């Protein structure tokens, strides 16, 4: 039976962020913005949603007086992404 | 990129995942800097020692290796001055651990040879150690010139057992040229090429 896709991940920008973070150890906010072509405001909102869901860890630091936001996927985020991909596969198989 | 959720189909999801993974794959870091700095320093140290032994004939020829202190200064200055990378991959982390371990083992080997006094046997040991770093870096970065450089080190180590300690100094320079300096320049070229082809 087809399982509903995780609504937190089934969103273009949030999925893009998690897809990047799944393949790296950690990434800075500016890197995510550059790779996703998103606006800072929109990206910030979506990162907060992922953080609230427990899918990513966000660390804010200062380097040479400039704020730095570093994002890292959590084990819960990895599990959610894997489940999302599995659901996606089963959905696409049913469609075929 | 907008945060589209209304008309976001599973097919779109797959496309986003694929695109993002492709973009991350090209997040290369210029790893050539340390290969070139340390490569040229070891090359100069070994060659200088050879000149001091053969032509100057001084017993203080070991002083040639003081050039290595330059490497520490350059590495520390670069680390302090450069901004931290905006993205850290698992490969970057693995490589950092490998080279940290090689650095510690190298210091231990220096201490052992200084205490024992039989420094003439140190060259093949150092080359074996360097080859480990080259080989693993080459495999992890999927960069064959470093793997071939490591293989060249192994061949030169065998050759070293047939010649005297003074010739070993020259062979060390040759090995470092093949395993660090040439692959280092090739790696820099590869990095520049990848930057030009990067989607973003």
pLDDT digits (tens, 9 = 90+) for A36-95: 999 999 999 999 999 999 999 999 987 767 788 999 999 999 999 999 999 988 887 766
Chain B CA closest to residue A87:
B10
Calculate the alpha carbon distances from A11 to A72, A81, A88 in Å.
19, 12, 13
Residues in chain A closer than 8 A to B26 (CB atoms)? none
Average pLDDT over residues B167-191: 93
pLDDT at B40: 96
How confident is the model at residue B161, as a pLDDT?
93
Total domains, chain B: 1
pLDDT tens-digit readout, B146-161:
999 999 999 999 999 9
Chain A residues in contact with B200 by the CB 8 A cut-off are 34-35, 37
- Record the pTM: 0.79
Q: Which pLDDT score, from 0 to 100, does residue B26 have?
A: 57
Q: How many domains does chain A have?
A: 1
What range does the domain containing B102 cover?
A: 29-197
Q: How many Cβ atoms from other residues are within 10 Å of residue B166's Cβ?
A: 14
Coil/strand/helix, residue A92: helix
**Does some domain include residue B9?**
no
Residue B180 in this model has a pLDDT that exceeds 50: yes
Asked if the structure places residue A2 within a domain, the reply is no
Range of the domain at A83: 12-95
- The pLDDT value given to residue A1: 43
Would residue A1 count as lying in a domain? Answer: no
Q: Is residue A76 part of a domain?
A: yes
Contact A14, A46 (CB under 8 A): yes
Q: What is the pLDDT of residue B121?
A: 84
Count the alpha carbons within 13 Å of A49 in the hemisphere toward its beta carbon: 17
What pLDDT sits at residue A48? 95
Residue B46, pLDDT score:
94
- Whether residue B23 lies inside any domain: the answer is no
Residue in A27, A85, A88 nearest the CB of B86: A27
Structural contact between residues A69 and A59, judged by C-beta atoms closer than 8 angstroms = yes
Specify if A6 maps to a domain.
no
Does the pLDDT value for residue B7 go beyond 90? no
Model pLDDT, residue B28: 53
Q: Could you report the per-residue pLDDT of B97-109, keeping only the tens digit for each?
A: 999 999 999 999 9
Domain presence at residue A7: no
pLDDT, tens digit, 9 for 90 and up, residues B51-93: 999 998 888 888 899 999 999 899 889 888 877 778 888 888 8
What are the distances in angstroms from CA B21 to CA A50, B84, B102, B112, B158? 18, 22, 31, 47, 43
| Closest approach of A42 to chain B, Cα-based (Å) | 8
The answer to the question of residue B107 being in a domain is: yes
Tell me if A38 sits within 8 A of B103, measured CB to CB: no
| Contacting B residues, span 32-71, partner chain A, CB-CB under 8 Å | none
Looking at B2-11, B99-108, B188-197, which range is the least confident one?
Answer: B2-11
DSSP-derived 3-state class of residue B190: helix
ipTM rounded to 2 decimals: 0.83
Of the pLDDT bands very low, low, confident and very high (cuts 50, 70, 90), residue A26 is very high
Nearest residue in A to B19, CA atom? A16
Once rounded to an integer, what is the mean pLDDT over residues B162-184? 94
């Amino acid at each position: 039976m087809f399982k509903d896709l995780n609504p937190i991940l089934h969103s273009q920008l949030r999925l893009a962020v998690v897809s990047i973070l799944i393949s790296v150890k950690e990434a800075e906010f500016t890197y995510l913005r550059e790779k996703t072509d998103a606006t800072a405001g929109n990206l910030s909102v979506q990162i907060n949603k992922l953080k609230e869901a427990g899918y990513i860890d966000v660390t804010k630091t200062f380097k040479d007086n400039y704020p730095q936001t570093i994002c890292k996927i959590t084990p819960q985020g990895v599990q959610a992404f894997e489940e999302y991909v599995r659901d996606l596969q089963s959905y696409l198989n049913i469609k075929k | 990129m907008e945060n589209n959720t209304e008309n976001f189909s599973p097919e779109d999801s797959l496309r986003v995942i694929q695109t993002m993974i492709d973009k991350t794959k090209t997040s290369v870091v210029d790893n050539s800097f340390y290969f070139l700095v340390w490569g040229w320093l070891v090359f100069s140290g070994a060659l200088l020692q050879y000149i001091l032994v053969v032509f100057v004939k001084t017993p203080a020829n070991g002083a040639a290796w003081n050039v290595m202190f330059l490497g520490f200064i350059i590495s520390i200055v670069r680390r302090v001055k450069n901004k931290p990378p905006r993205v850290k991959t698992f490969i970057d982390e693995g490589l950092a651990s490998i080279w940290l371990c090689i650095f510690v083992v190298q210091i231990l080997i220096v201490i052992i040879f200084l205490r024992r006094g039989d420094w003439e046997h140190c060259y093949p040991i150092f080359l074996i150690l360097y080859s480990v770093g080259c080989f693993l870096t080459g495999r992890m970065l999927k960069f064959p010139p470093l793997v071939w450089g490591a293989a060249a080190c192994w061949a030169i180590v065998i050759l070293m057992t047939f010649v005297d300690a003074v010739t070993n100094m020259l062979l060390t320079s040759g090995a470092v040229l093949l395993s660090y300096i040439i692959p280092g320049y090739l790696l820099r070229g590869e990095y520049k090429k990848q930057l030009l082809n990067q989607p973003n």
